[in-house]
Chains A and B, each alone.
Chain A
Amino acid sequence: MPLLETAAVSVRFGGNVALSGVSIAVEPNTVTGLIGPNGAGKTTLFNVITGLQRPAAGHVLLSGADVTHMSPYKRAQRGLARTFQRLELFISLSVRDNIRVAGDMRNASRRGPRIDVGREADRVIELTGLADVAGRDVAEIPTGRARVVELARALMTDPKVLLLDEPASGQTEQETETFGELLRRLAGDGLAICLVEHDVSLVMQVCSTIYVLDYGAVLASGTPAEIREDPAVITAYLGTTEGVA
């Protein structure tokens, strides 16, 4: 059974349709990719899933339960975590405190046993390879590392489902490679990961299923090999040559 499902989600901004009838499923132990051109509605879908945006129609299911009308923090307490395309770090806190505070929030929610926030933070910092910047202000570190801090912060909540919004943008090639390995490892530990990413080679490497969004609708879905051969996808990404002189 998928841990996260959206069922025919639609969103309108004024007269514009941002999402129309989008249904995706994210399984545990896997990385599911979500790709598509700019403005296709990927971030909007993440906002609907996490509760920051109310859908006009459709449902969001978390572990089979309908959470469509649940507030964002309750969804988070049920094991949903995300990162942001436009970085949403806590800029007054150090890297380590950015990670620690997520554990503080977990303890404050009284969900599950109390954790030793300091030790848990050390474990996550070790896991994500942030030890060298742990003591610095988040405003000082490069974008690529800052994105890893957002991932580490999300991991502190002990999530079951992880939504990553363009985590590799701003990373160097080497950082992206390490990042891909980390994603595979996290999925191997049982996480259900949904990855929005423009670095398609990363998506092709780590994802077992890929959804292609275009104009707010699912254009295609399948394995990386299927997606790569799909003519509709190629058109969506490269544009059409018809009609141009």
Chain B
Amino acid sequence: MSSTISPAGSAAPVAPDEPLLELVGVRAGYGAIEVLHGVDLRVPPGALVALLGPNGGGKTTTLKLCAGLVPVTDGEFRLAGRVVNGVTANQLARLGVCSVPEGRGIFPNLTVRENLWLATGTGKRMESIEAAAYRRFPILGERRRQLAGTLSGGEQQMLSLARALGTDPTLLLLDELSLGLAPIVVAQMYETVRQLAAEGLSILVAEQFARTVLPIAQLAAIMLHGRIVRVGTPSEIEEDLSTTYLGG
């Protein structure tokens, strides 16, 4: 395959049916400043899609848009085939879209347990959320009464991921899981993500460290200057990486 594959076209063979999440020509930004200049992206059901590219390219804005935190100014935001432009973040959360934002999706001044308690806003029961969280990350069980802000970076990221485990979402959005974490912790995080993907969860991951996520992704897209410039399988994308990141 060459680098001329169109984004929509390349996703087709993986997803014979409708994609779970689809952005068509989406434009968005903050106030007068437009950040996304027409993004086309598809997440097929059960797939793990990696959104790569240097910072400032629009990855975080794309994920915020999918989570309902940034409004669509033009184009279509579709969820399971239905256009959901203008849906609010809390509605999406209850529809099963779980978003772990950049830089620790936790409340630092609440305890571990209170953080998990708030995750029941999605409609799930506290018991199941706690059980799932402590089973996967026993360390969180030991620290359930500790303020989340006093946890180590890795434990904080575990906590934000624990919310995704317990609430049983249909779509998981992960933004820069690796931010400020030691490589060994990053590897541990992505091992968890891989297992979630293997269990059939659809996942969209934005990541600046391409090589941490490429091995577990089914599809990868490179984003530059507010547009998706390349979509392909991880092996196809791998070849382009050095050029994209280090300017060849």
Contact = CB atoms under 8 A, between A and B. Distances in A.
Interface string B232-248: 00000000011001111
A243 B247 contact: no
B216 interface: yes
Contact of A38 (B32, B208, B215, B242): B208
Interface string A131-160: 000000001101100000000000000000
Interface string A114-143: 000000000000000000000000011011
B123 interface: no
Contact of A240 (B55, B149, B180, B183): B183
Interface stretch (A44-52, A59-67, A199-207): A199-207
Contacts of A203: 247
Interface stretch (B13-21, B111-119, B186-194): B186-194
B143 interface: no
Contacts of A169: 55-56
Given A140-B32, A201-B248, A166 B212 contact: no
Contacts of A240: 183, 186-187, 209, 211-212
Contacts of B32: 139-140
Interface string A181-222: 000000000000000001111111100000000010000000
> What's the dominant secondary structure at chain B's contact region?
helix
A233 B246 CA distance: 10
B245 A238 contact: yes
B191 A234 contact: no
Interface in B200-248: 207-213, 215-216, 225, 241-242, 245-248
A178 interface: no
B126 interface: no
Contact of B216 (A15, A198, A233, A245): A245
B245 A239 contact: no
B175 to A, nearest CB: 11
Contacts of A140: 32
Contacts of B213: 239
B55 A239 contact: no
A170 B56 contact: yes
Contacts, number: 95
A147 to B, nearest CB: 11
A38 B215 CA distance: 22
A241 interface: yes
A23 B35 CA distance: 34
A228 B246 CA distance: 7
A245 B208 contact: no
A215 B150 CA distance: 19
Contacts of B190: 244
Contact of B215 (A16, A238, A241): A241
B35 to A, nearest CB: 8
B55 A38 contact: yes
Contact of A234 (B56, B176, B187, B246): B246
B33 interface: yes
A237 interface: yes
Contact of A37 (B34, B149, B208, B215): B208
A88 interface: no
Nearest to A205: B247
B194 to A, nearest CB: 6
B178 interface: yes
Contacts of A166: 56
Contact of B54 (A199, A241, A242): A199
Given A15-B150, A37-B208, A200-B246, 15 more contacts: A14-B149, A37-B55, A38-B55, A39-B103, A143-B34, A205-B247, A215-B180, A237-B245, A238-B211, A238-B245, A239-B178, A239-B186, A239-B207, A242-B183, A244-B212
